[in-house]
Amino acid sequence: MPDLSSAQHHTPRETPDDEAAVNALRSAVMRLGRRLKHQRVDESLSPAEMSVLGTLARCGSATPGELARKEHVQPPSMTRIVALLESKGLVRLEPHPEDRRQKVVRQTEQAEAMLEESRRKRNAWLAELAGQLNEDEWETLRAAAPVLEKLAHL
């Protein structure tokens, strides 16, 4: 596996093969992502609501403004999403420790349990798919996982 942390970076799309590889990667990641999104536990939640819960699980509590920035949505949209999640018992609003004008959004135990069940379901689905790969394909995929994770956070 190439060392992506080194100063020497390969610039994609230098050749038709690179361009084809980038196109295939984009397409495969998008299709797999869509299929994973369908492996949900609670069908009543929108993708935006699930995304906010995931952000709270990864990053901890946040103000609605911070969530709006992290989710790349406008603050009024985040206010609506938080209100929906609160009405479903998945988040609670608490006073901000330093700024009385603001609230902090925290996920509830119900949200944590739902997210854990969702992760288990998605992992089981993905493991079933991966079980159809041969050993070389599985090893390639295992080696690619950290690289894909890096791309997701660049």
Domains of the chain: 39-153 (1.10.10.10)
Q: Is 17 exposed, middle or buried (0-12, 13-18, 19+ CB in 10 A)?
A: exposed
pLDDT of residue 7: 46
Q: What is the pLDDT of residues 72-130, one digit of tens each?
A: 999 999 999 999 999 999 999 999 888 888 899 999 999 999 999 988 999 999 999 99
Q: What is the pLDDT of residues 45-77, one digit of tens each?
A: 888 998 999 999 999 999 999 999 999 999 999
This prediction's pTM: 0.71
Any idea which residue has 């079980």 for tokens?
A: 131
